[in-house]
Structure 1
Amino acid sequence: MRGNFTLSGAIEAFIDPLIVVAVLYACAAWHGERLLSPAYMILGALSFALTFPGNIGLHESTRKMVRKVATNWLLFAGATGAFGYASGYLHYFPQSMLVAWLSATPIALVAAHAAARQALPAWLAIGDNQRIAVVVGVNDIGLKLAREFRAHPYLGTRVVGFFDDRPRARLPDTGDAPLLGPLAGLAEFVKRRRVEAIYLALPMAPQPRILALLDELKDTTASIYFVPDIFVTDLIQGRVDNVGGMAVVAVCETPFTGLNHIVKRGSDFVLALLILLLLSPVLLAVAIGVKLSSPGPVVFKQRRYGLDGLEILVYKFRSMTVCDDGARVQQATRNDSRITPFGAFIRRTSLDELPQFINVVQGRMSIVGPRPHAVAHNEAYRKLIKGYMIRHKVKPGITGWAQVNGYRGETETLDKMEKRIEYDLDYLRNWSLGLDLWIIVRTALMVVRDPNAY
């Protein structure tokens, strides 16, 4: 399961503001009011802004949920009522409508939260919707963490077992999650079973042992968490999270969780669709040019690694006389004889990348992110560069932080690829929507004057 925390986080953030606005318009419609009038549009926008994001967690007890709904609604009603009375804005609305809204909203909020608590675990239990996790360390902390996941199914995480170096006879009962073996077998198990989250519940005294374990896990795409507080360098989106109120520390995680995921995916989809519509004549012209310039398909499809290291098909306009996609793929070099004359032009102007906006609309890629490499290159470099696979914690991009910093095109030496990966990981650590926009601007400026484009 990818994005289960995103789903629950989005529900927690949006459920209150959406219900508040929906009940407002339902009450207005019941009273025969004009819904698109400026008064109702302003009140709807104000209500959404003041209640976003919601602060009621799905893990909280029903009693606490009801109490927080009631107190939050009273505070909201008091604040907006005082403002409306002082400004005279209240007089734009029928009193009976306002009373109905104030009365019905908390009931609707409680019902919506109760429904979410019932529906989300059921949805997560269907098919492959659960995130697979393992806990390292059979101790009080590790056992409690596994119990929290079992007690809060809305998290969508299933602990399949524990890893610990101690003999089974010295360990407490692990319950439903079995002991899977010693730490030496963890990395291989994670790769074989496609484990998506690892929770390290180890004592911090043997720090070299933990750092060695982290080095082994850098050749996986699993999210890694320490439980509880630790000190460690080179964090990827390091932050404190919680499981049922219990603190965990993210050591290696994607920046696109919660609202960030919604912002990233929404901006990608809208912008990619707009670009495809606006540049459709250019796409048609390039397609005709490729077809007339040399025999072969117009669009070149190549297997590459996407989110969480899963293979995806990436589209490009064909710029060469060959379509390599096997166990060995030779990178394009300057004055490469395989590049057609028209192919050289579309590579220099980056027009060959335009079909990848279709990949973005499909959800396989982002506009900005680490550039995807051929599967053959991935398998070679993951053995040579520590932390190489971490770049796959996010979707690959059409352009990226490494590319706008001079690491576009051929990486004929290992140190060049190491610098590209360094920039990719720096992007993961420091992502923001502003950084994405800056990379897009720099990419546009580089298209006509990039010496590494060939």
Structure 2
Amino acid sequence: MSVQFNKGYLHRYGALFIILIILFDLFFIIGSFKGVLYFLEIEETNDYLFTLALTLIIFLTFAMSLSFYRSFRTTPILSEIGELFLYWGSTFVSISTLVYLFEQKMPVSSDILVLWFSVSFVCLAISRFVLRTVAYSLRKVGHNFRRVAIVGHTEIGESLFKSIQSNKWMGLHFVGFFDARNTKRDARLDQSFSHEQFEVLLSKIARNEVDIVYITLPMSAQKRIQMFIDQLSQTNVAIYYAPDFYSFDLLRASWDSIDGQPLVSIIETPLLGDNNLIKRLMDIFISSAILLVIGLPLLLFAILIKMDSKGPIIYKQKRYGLDGKSFIIYKFRTMQSNPEDQVFKQAQKNDSRITKHGKWMRKYSVDELPQFINVLQGRMSIVGPRPHPLALDDEHQALIRRYNLRFKVKPGITGWAQVNGYRGETKTLECMNNRIRYDLEYINKWSVYFDIKIILLTFKSVIKPVNAF
């Protein structure tokens, strides 16, 4: 027997459902507060009740002003939990500040606040997981679905279809592709897909068989898009337009606005605002800790370099950094010092210029350790695209498309390209092209967790080095 797909109560009574979620949140916050006081055997005074009431007001102000209470149908659960942590954490900071400033009127100890906020967050997060589990269980038997149609059999339309099909938890039931053309617009499209005429979609909408319509036509088809919107706006379906921004090769795309005018960033750095602060604090903490640990070994390496050959211990060279501005990079010297050699030449396998100790230093990236000083100076980061010699950058800027986009973030001691095997000499243009591809992928996907993943993978690549000589 086929499953009957229907919207269900969660859609028909959406406003009531949101109110229930808010009430549940308040219940968990109040319940955890009373539970903590009971556990610690603390009397519930008017001062505590005042703090509780103020907390509820601040939390709801943050959450409702930033549209936290909305449909998370197409949002992964971890993203929802992340938003919850942001708003509840902001509330914690606000209340802690007020308690500190008005200690006499709000005599609540920091231990109580930390325990209360921790217990509340766990309860709120668990409630989200339970709600998602219930909603998904309903969707498995055909309830609480939204029926979606795609207007425009295009590449981005097929991509959207595949996302809907592979994320069943969203509860979206695909009705079909619809277009005004009789033939497919691109030979590269999957030939197994077919589409019906737009008039068929209108008849399905009239029979209440479609809830959402996604328009995936190219932006060049403005007149046809407007025609479809005009006709669909006479119905009760929700209408979304999926612009094909991918044709612009986006880098960290995001939405913005100026005085209500929507804008989309085509190319931007991921390290703006709090992201920049978090990464900088992470760089300072890690580089400081590492320099404290390797202080004595650095002194030993310096002595070995001095005994091995004549020349400076630290090799200094100009590199391009953030926004293409040059800086001086520090490395242990691993080659014979030759002031007359002014022509840049990449180190090669069995390079005669490499010193005896320089060989193993380069293999296990010991020569890179002084760059933690560059990180403390703010000129580099722990993780980022590896900085190239200026001559190498100048040579490839004209040869590789989007090469300069790697300068949107600070260069790093280690990077996504390096842990994927693209380190050392770049013999061919294809090799450099692949390295840049990984660099741009890192910028597009940047997150704190991604940085931590790369740092952990770096330890593996140091133990079993590839292309290091």
TM-score bucket (shorter structure): 0.5 to 0.7
* CA deviations over 1:34-88 (Å, ceiling 9, x no partner): 855x224446879999xxxxxxxxxxxxxxxxxxxxxxxxxxxxxxxxxxxxxxx
Residue 100 of structure 2 corresponds to which residue in structure 1? 25
Matches within 5 A, 1:264-413: 264-322=279-337, 328-413=343-428
Equivalent residue letter for 2:98: V
Q: Matches of 1:267 and 1:323 in 2, distance apart?
A: 38
Equivalent residue letter for 2:320: Y
1:39 to 101, 112, 129: 112
Q: Matches of 1:323 and 1:244 in 2, distance apart?
A: 59
Matches within 5 A, 1:216-295: 231-233=245-247, 234-295=249-310
The answer as to whether partners of 1:304 and 1:375 remain within 8 angstroms in 2 is yes
Residue 447 of structure 2 corresponds to which residue in structure 1? 432
* CA deviations over 1:318-344 (Å, ceiling 9, x no partner): 111137899742111111111101111
After superposition, the Cα gap between the structure-2 partners of 1:438 and 1:48, relative to the gap in structure 1 and judged at 3 Å, is closer
CA positional deviation for 1:444: 0.6
Equivalent residue letter for 1:392: F
After superposition, the Cα gap between the structure-2 partners of 1:378 and 1:437, relative to the gap in structure 1 and judged at 3 Å, is same
Q: Matches of 1:364 and 1:405 in 2, distance apart?
A: 24
Residue 93 of structure 1 corresponds to which residue in structure 2? none
CA positional deviation for 1:230: 6.5
Equivalent residue letter for 1:399: T
Q: Matches of 1:244 and 1:275 in 2, distance apart?
A: 46
CA positional deviation for 1:264: 1.4
CA positional deviation for 1:429: 1.2
Residue 81 of structure 1 corresponds to which residue in structure 2? none
Matches within 5 A, 1:150-165: none
Q: Matches of 2:305 and 2:444 in 1, distance apart?
A: 39
Q: Matches of 2:341 and 2:107 in 1, distance apart?
A: 64
The answer as to whether partners of 1:318 and 1:352 remain within 8 angstroms in 2 is yes
After superposition, the Cα gap between the structure-2 partners of 1:348 and 1:324, relative to the gap in structure 1 and judged at 3 Å, is farther
Question: 3-state SS of the aligned residue for 2:416?
Answer: coil
Q: Matches of 2:438 and 2:304 in 1, distance apart?
A: 34
* CA deviations over 1:1-48 (Å, ceiling 9, x no partner): xxxxxxxxxxx99987655422211212x4695855x22444687999
After superposition, the Cα gap between the structure-2 partners of 1:325 and 1:397, relative to the gap in structure 1 and judged at 3 Å, is farther
The answer as to whether partners of 1:305 and 1:311 remain within 8 angstroms in 2 is yes
Question: 3-state SS of the aligned residue for 1:402?
Answer: helix
Q: Matches of 2:112 and 2:90 in 1, distance apart?
A: 23
After superposition, the Cα gap between the structure-2 partners of 1:205 and 1:313, relative to the gap in structure 1 and judged at 3 Å, is same
After superposition, the Cα gap between the structure-2 partners of 1:326 and 1:17, relative to the gap in structure 1 and judged at 3 Å, is farther
Residue 215 of structure 2 corresponds to which residue in structure 1? none
Question: 3-state SS of the aligned residue for 1:288?
Answer: helix
The answer as to whether partners of 2:99 and 2:107 remain within 8 angstroms in 1 is no
CA positional deviation for 1:367: 0.8
Q: Matches of 2:338 and 2:376 in 1, distance apart?
A: 24
Q: Matches of 1:379 and 1:238 in 2, distance apart?
A: 27
CA positional deviation for 1:265: 1.4
Equivalent residue letter for 1:376: A
Question: 3-state SS of the aligned residue for 1:255?
Answer: coil
TM-score by length of 1: 0.54
TM-score by length of 2: 0.52
The answer as to whether partners of 1:21 and 1:47 remain within 8 angstroms in 2 is no
Residue 418 of structure 1 corresponds to which residue in structure 2? 433
The answer as to whether partners of 2:99 and 2:108 remain within 8 angstroms in 1 is no
Percent identity reads 44
Q: Matches of 1:391 and 1:397 in 2, distance apart?
A: 11
Equivalent residue letter for 1:258: G
Q: Matches of 2:367 and 2:291 in 1, distance apart?
A: 14
Tell me whether 346-355 or 250-259 shows the greater mean CA deviation: 250-259
Equivalent residue letter for 2:310: P
Equivalent residue letter for 2:268: E
Equivalent residue letter for 2:458: T
CA RMSD of aligned residues (A): 3.2
Residue 178 of structure 1 corresponds to which residue in structure 2? none
Tell me whether 309-318 or 235-244 shows the greater mean CA deviation: 235-244
* CA deviations over 1:257-312 (Å, ceiling 9, x no partner): 23222221111111111111111121111111111111111111110000000001
* CA deviations over 1:202-248 (Å, ceiling 9, x no partner): xx6599xxxxxxxxxxxxxxxxxxxxx76342211112122343211
Report how many aligned residue pairs link the two structures: 269
- Answer 1 or 2: higher relative contact order, Cα 8 Å, separation at least 6: 1
Q: Matches of 2:314 and 2:120 in 1, distance apart?
A: 48
Q: Matches of 2:266 and 2:306 in 1, distance apart?
A: 48
Q: Matches of 1:281 and 1:434 in 2, distance apart?
A: 31
Quick check: which has more Rg, 1 or 2? 2
Q: Matches of 2:456 and 2:106 in 1, distance apart?
A: 48
* CA deviations over 1:361-391 (Å, ceiling 9, x no partner): 1111111110001112111110111111000
The answer as to whether partners of 1:18 and 1:48 remain within 8 angstroms in 2 is no
Q: Matches of 2:340 and 2:272 in 1, distance apart?
A: 32
Residue 192 of structure 1 corresponds to which residue in structure 2? none
Q: Matches of 1:16 and 1:328 in 2, distance apart?
A: 59
Residue 65 of structure 1 corresponds to which residue in structure 2? none
The answer as to whether partners of 1:402 and 1:420 remain within 8 angstroms in 2 is yes
Question: 3-state SS of the aligned residue for 1:314?
Answer: strand
